[in-house]
Amino acid sequence: MTIKHAQDPQSNPAQYLTIVLISDTHELHRGLDVPFGDLLIHAGDFTMLSKRAAAILDFSQWLGELPHRFKLVVPGNHEFFLASDLARRSLISNATLLINEHIEIMGLKIWGSPTTLAVGGAFSIGSEKDRRALYSQIPSDTNVVITHGPPYGILDQFPGSNFHQGCRELREAVLQVKPLLHVFGHLHGAHGMVSNEDTLFVNAALLGPDGDLSESPIVLRMPRIRS
């Protein structure tokens, strides 16, 4: 199966799901023009080092104002408020929060995780062994993987840098599972898409180096999976 850009004039809307991808909005979400789609995915860092409920509640309220039928969110390394207390995760009431778990939506089998290598960040896992054990839990029939952090060597470098900040264990797992789509964020300035023969990789981070939302949401059409 292939994934097409939403602008493709030959696409039949009845045969495709429109998926809107965003990440790293860092409390600037209310200034964002979000295209319509069947499914909205936010790949984390919707706050700015937030350890307070107000930022989480405002983000959830904003999600509730959007018309997308389905909304999925994974937290990022800035979402300390959600990492420290499991009960607080219910504050995201207008989307499904995925924290190392899977869900099926409209025939798509989706797995999401907030894990990064960020030292001192929320949801970080420093041990290679523990990260490999976590990513081994991705079901083999997964169609879409959502992570906050990028896989090693794929859209994981700041502009002008030769240093890769992605996770080798994540890359290993995704190359084995071969999902149709892997969406992530975390690395500002690496926004874009690349693909291999099995998977479209998308860094959906919208925050630019100047601290503003300098990128636009990415809109894709994915073939409907019939049961």
pLDDT digits (tens, 9 = 90+) for 156-186: 998 888 899 999 999 999 999 999 999 999 9
Q: What is the pTM of this model?
A: 0.94
**Which token pair is 148?**
């906050």
Question: CA geometry: angle at 128 spanning 124 and 133, to 5°?
Answer: 90
Contact between 77 and 186 under an 8 Å Cβ cutoff? The reply is yes
The enclosing H or E element of 133 equals helix 128-135
d(CA 70, CA 51): 27
**Boundaries of domain holding 157:** 4-223
pLDDT digits (tens, 9 = 90+) for 89-138: 999 999 999 999 999 999 999 999 999 998 899 999 999 999 999 999 99
Please give the tally of structural domains in the chain: 1
Say what the pLDDT of residue 15 is. 83
Which segment of 1-5, 86-90, 99-103, 215-219 scores lowest on mean pLDDT?
A: 1-5
Say what the pLDDT of residue 9 is. 47
Say what the pLDDT of residue 7 is. 57
Taking residues 206-213, what's their average pLDDT? 90
CATH number, position 155? 3.60.21.10
Look over the chain and give the mean of its residue pLDDT values, rounded to a whole number: 93
d(CA 211, CA 214): 8
